[in-house]
């Protein structure tokens, strides 16, 4: 019967069988009992085999050890489950559980109770562990085990039982509350839990980690509060982190959906669970906020991480969202565009292919012409009287544009500017058009702005033929800003 086991020592088992010899540990079997019966074995050294329902974060104990807390469940112990505190003098000696629902075998742990709460402790010197995939697969070998772990003769039967008796042990049940929030439903300054994929991890100059998170949906539209007159001294940021990502990294990102950066302090002890990329995780108790119109998040002292598998229901739901979006012309558009973009602009290439900004950033060739939907979050200059060069009389403007996947600079220059601004209208007419484009509702440029979604044609080009990718830029062409209130 799958569950926990009270260890019958080799000597006592031999005596019970009427034999005088003593069996070695490797020859003995373990009597596995349900978790509910393990609670009756206070202060005894016992063995557990159960499913992991919750993965805590690795923390520093009051002494010199590290401690990891896991929750265990079986068919008789409902979530959140029985707590196991595992201690070791090195983080790498602790179990690295890949996913909730995986099976753990623990030898020589001690059952205790505190204020009516049952738990057991694992001592790195006396105890041993092994981790097994929780899915019904043919492989019965552990994917991680301690150096002193010796498998029992009957562990295979128990492992198979735990893998097959999963009706009440799915990861989402084990995780319990809080439920996961999609990026499209984020609220600023709230403690939320999310299920997402870790696309990339980098380190800041201060030693903190930045996680690049994605869940196939688009983050909510936000108002812009940047002072347009400060654009000359301090450009609108294109991303929350300071350094640019290499092109090789951008090419690995999904072409649809918002990628949100999450800052993890170097003091956060649970980061070892997510040092690798490509994993789906559930991040609980994470704070989200908006800076310069960009969503970002940060871990809190109460944040904890659960590694998920591709078979998890929340993961599969997000995968279905992405598959549906990537195959649909309408669903590829930003969520907040609907019912349709503003008619503030019109383009010459109405039937050319639509691309997101991330698709263009990852385009295999330097030069890329495409039609897209963006918001203009900043402009330098932005006042109508300054849009043209005093020396040449030509338009020269740097716009900061964004969609749900990325934010870039795009230039309006010369003949493209003449096309964009529909010739050389009067300053007051041009000023009204710029206000509408930038979402300025009155004469003040500092109040929160909500720029409209507009169609535009973009073309990438390069400045230096010896460094085409390093000198790549974008310009707007074939687009006219023509509507006036």
Residues 408-429 pLDDT 10s: 999 999 999 999 999 999 999 9
pLDDT digits (tens, 9 = 90+) for 94-121: 998 888 888 999 988 888 988 888 899 9
- For the residues 189-206, what does the mean pLDDT come to? 87
Statement: residue 403 has pLDDT above 90: yes
Instruction: Specify the pLDDT at position 17.
Output: 35
Residue 31 binned pLDDT confidence (cut-offs 50, 70, 90): low
Instruction: Specify the pLDDT at position 473.
Output: 95
* b/e code 254-280 from CB counts within 10 Å (16+ = b): bbbbbbbbbbbbeebebbbbbeeeebb
Statement: residue 443 has pLDDT above 70: no
Statement: residue 122 has pLDDT above 50: yes
Statement: residue 11 has pLDDT above 50: no
Question: CA 240, CA 406: separation in Å to the nearest integer?
Answer: 11
pLDDT digits (tens, 9 = 90+) for 155-188: 888 888 888 764 444 443 333 445 688 999 898 8
Higher pLDDT, 172 or 453: 453
pTM above 0.85, yes or no: no
Residue 442 binned pLDDT confidence (cut-offs 50, 70, 90): low
Most confident segment among 12-26, 59-73, 174-188, 438-452: 59-73
Question: CA 163, CA 136: separation in Å to the nearest integer?
Answer: 6
Instruction: Specify the pLDDT at position 187.
Output: 87
Instruction: Specify the pLDDT at position 43.
Output: 83
CATH architecture of 335-481: Beta Barrel (2.40)
- For the residues 355-372, what does the mean pLDDT come to? 94
Residue 293 binned pLDDT confidence (cut-offs 50, 70, 90): confident
Question: CA 119, CA 97: separation in Å to the nearest integer?
Answer: 19
Lowest pLDDT segment from 162-171, 210-219, 299-308, 444-453: 162-171
CATH architecture of 3-168: Beta Barrel (2.40)
If you write DSSP's letter for every residue of 104-150 in order, what string do you get? EEEEEEEEEEETTEEEEEEETTT-EEEEE--SS-S--S-SEE-TT--
**Which residues belong to CATH 2.40.50.140 in the chain?**
3-168, 183-326, 335-481
> Contact, 304 vs 55, CB < 8 A?
yes
Higher pLDDT, 356 or 45: 356
Instruction: Specify the pLDDT at position 19.
Output: 32
Instruction: Specify the pLDDT at position 312.
Output: 83
Instruction: Specify the pLDDT at position 150.
Output: 87
Fold (CATH) for 183-326: OB fold (Dihydrolipoamide Acetyltransferase, E2P) (2.40.50)
> Contact, 214 vs 197, CB < 8 A?
yes
Decide: helix, strand or coil at residue 427. helix
pLDDT digits (tens, 9 = 90+) for 385-402: 999 998 899 999 999 999
Statement: residue 10 has pLDDT above 80: no
> Contact, 188 vs 95, CB < 8 A?
no
């Amino acid at each position: 019967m799958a569950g926990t086991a009270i260890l019958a020592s080799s000597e006592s088992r031999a005596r019970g069988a009427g034999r005088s010899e003593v069996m070695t540990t490797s020859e003995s079997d373990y009597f596995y009992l349900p978790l509910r019966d393990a609670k009756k074995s206070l202060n005894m050294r016992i063995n557990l085999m159960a499913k992991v329902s919750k993965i805590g974060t690795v923390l520093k104990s009051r002494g010199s050890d590290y401690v990891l807390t896991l929750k265990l469940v079986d068919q008789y112990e409902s979530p959140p489950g029985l707590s196991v505190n595992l201690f070791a003098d090195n983080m790498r000696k602790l179990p690295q559980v890949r996913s909730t629902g995986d099976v753990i075998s623990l030898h020589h742990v001690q059952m205790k109770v505190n204020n009516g709460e049952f738990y057991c402790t694992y001592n790195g010197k006396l105890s041993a562990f092994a981790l097994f995939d929780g899915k019904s697969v043919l492989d019965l070998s552990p994917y991680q085990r301690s150096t002193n772990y010796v498998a029992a003769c009957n562990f295979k039967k128990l492992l198979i039982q735990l893998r097959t008796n999963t009706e009440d042990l799915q990861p989402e049940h084990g995780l319990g509350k809080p439920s996961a929030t999609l990026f499209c439903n984020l609220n600023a300054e709230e403690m939320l839990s999310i299920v997402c994929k870790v696309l990339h991890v980098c380190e800041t100059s201060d030693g903190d980690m930045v996680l690049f998170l994605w869940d196939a949906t688009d983050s909510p539209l936000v108002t812009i509060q940047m002072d347009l007159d400060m654009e000359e001294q301090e450009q609108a940021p294109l991303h929350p982190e300071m350094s640019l990502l290499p092109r090789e990294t951008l090419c690995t990102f999904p072409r649809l959906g918002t990628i949100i950066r999450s800052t993890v302090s170097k003091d956060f002890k649970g980061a070892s669970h997510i040092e690798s990329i490509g994993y789906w995780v559930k991040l609980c108790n994470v704070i989200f906020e908006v800076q310069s119109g960009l969503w970002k998040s940060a871990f809190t002292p109460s944040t904890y991480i659960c590694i998920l598998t591709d078979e998890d229901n929340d993961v599969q739901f997000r995968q279905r969202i992405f598959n549906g979006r990537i195959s649909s012309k309408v669903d590829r558009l930003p969520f907040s565009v609907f019912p349709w973009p503003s008619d503030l602009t019109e383009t010459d290439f109405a039937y050319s292919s639509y691309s997101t900004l991330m698709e263009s950033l990852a385009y295999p060739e330097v030069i890329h012409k495409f039609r897209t939907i963006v918001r203009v979050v900043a402009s330098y200059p932005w006042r109508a009287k300054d849009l043209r060069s005093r020396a040449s009389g030509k338009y020269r403007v740097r716009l900061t544009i964004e969609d749900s996947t990325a934010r870039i600079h795009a230039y309006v220059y010369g003949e493209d500017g003449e096309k964009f601004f529909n010739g050389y209208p009067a300053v007051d007419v041009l000023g009204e058009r710029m206000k509408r484009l930038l979402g300025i509702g009155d004469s003040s440029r500092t109040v929160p702005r909500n720029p409209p979604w507009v169609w535009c044609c973009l073309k990438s080009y390069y400045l230096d033929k010896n460094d085409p990718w390093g000198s790549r830029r974008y310009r707007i062409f074939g687009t006219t800003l023509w509507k006036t209130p």
